[in-house]
Amino acid sequence: MKTRKAGRRAKVRKFDLKALAEEKKRNFEQRLRFVVAYAEWVKKTPNKVWSRQQNAIIGRR
């Protein structure tokens, strides 16, 4: 395990907060589009089909 020498400070990373906020917004919008598209797919797909897929996903856990 490495130790810091006395008097040395850890480097502080600098982040572009504006860029992070924009990325967060884009990620949220992308997730929202996916959820809406998936909900539409579930609505128009027969229960037997989508429930089989859900069972395959849940059954893996």
44 occurs within a structural domain: yes
26 occurs within a structural domain: yes
19-36 pLDDT, tens digit per residue, is: 999 999 999 999 999 999
Instruction: State residue 26's pLDDT score.
Output: 97
3-19 pLDDT, tens digit per residue, is: 666 667 788 888 899 99
25 occurs within a structural domain: yes
Q: What is the mean pLDDT of residues 42-61?
A: 84
- Supply the DSSP string of 1-61, one letter for each residue: ---PPTT--PPPP---HHHHHHHHHHHHHHHHHHHHHHHHHHHHS-HHHHHHHHHHHHHT-
2 occurs within a structural domain: no
40 occurs within a structural domain: yes
Domains of the chain: total: 1
45 occurs within a structural domain: yes
What distance in Å separates the CA atoms of residue 15 and residue 52, rounded to the nearest whole number? 44
Give the domain extent around 54.
17-59
